[in-house]
Amino acid sequence: MYIRFITQFINEEGQNKTGLFQAMGFIRDHPLTDDDDESKLKDLTTWFEENLDAPKWFANPLGRRYEIKSLSWFKDTAKEHILKVNELIEILEKYDLIIERVTSKDLGHRVYEDEFQVSAEPLKSNRKRVI
């Protein structure tokens, strides 16, 4: 089983964003964020930077000529990472962000994988549900 956390918010440039980590950065850096929450978000940012690899490359299993839009999912075995995400969600919800937890067994075409996460191009049938 794979787990993805999504939210929707409009950033200062008026762009619609859906990423949990984008939301973390937005709230962390927002001038109206409580000092204690800002500190906790900085600590969480550091923790994720140290404990979750950011994919530097993606496989292109289908030989496509265009860049694949992949989505990142936690493996359900990434227990510590998911606990940290829950800490993050607790803070983000204080700022009226709604976080949705989506689970799936079939992610689509995998373009990156490590011990804790998978990035995959979603199947057409799942795109509206997971983005």
Calculate mean pLDDT across residues 67-80: 87
The predicted model scores a pTM of 0.83
pLDDT tens for each residue of 23-44: 999 999 999 999 999 999 999 9
Higher confidence at residue 94 or residue 68? 94
In sequence order, which residues have a C-beta less than 8 Å from that of residue 70 and are 6 or more positions away?
A: 58, 111, 112, 119, 120, 121
| Confidence grade of residue 56 (pLDDT, cut at 50, 70, 90) | low
Identity of the amino acid at 32:
L
Output the average pLDDT for the chain: 87
Res 57 pLDDT > 80: no
The burial class, CB within 10 Å (0-12 / 13-18 / 19+), for 84 is middle
Averaged pLDDT, 83-91: 98
Confidence of residue 59 (pLDDT cuts 50, 70, 90): low
Task: Provide CB contacts within 8 A for 120, sequence distance 6+.
Answer: 70, 71, 73, 107, 108, 109, 110, 111
Residues in the chain: 131
Query: For the chain, what are the domain ranges?
Result: 2-130
d(CA 112, CA 116): 11
